[in-house]
Amino acid sequence: MVPRNIVNKIYKKCKNITITKGRKDSEMYDIIIGAGPAGISAAIYGKSRGKNVLVLEKNRWVD
């Protein structure tokens, strides 16, 4: 579960993104929040399956 305050922060940053029904899979993205070990693993897995992947990270650099 994601804490409510984190969800609210993400919502505020992403509320201007519009989601349109009826888009092709090639136009859709898997959005991964966090570029830690699990996030990067999920991104690699998604790309290996031919998905478009967007990784969001709050820090400028990932260690």
**Higher-scoring residue by pLDDT: 25, 46:** 46
Which of 31, 26, 36 has the alpha carbon at shortest distance from 10?
31
The answer on pLDDT for 35 being more than 80 is yes
For 16-29, letters b (16+ CB in 10 Å) and e give eeeeeeeeeeeeee
Spatial distance between the Cα atoms of 36 and 24, rounded to a whole number of angstroms: 29
Q: Given pLDDT bands bounded at 50, 70 and 90, which one contains residue 15?
A: low
The answer on pLDDT for 20 being more than 80 is no
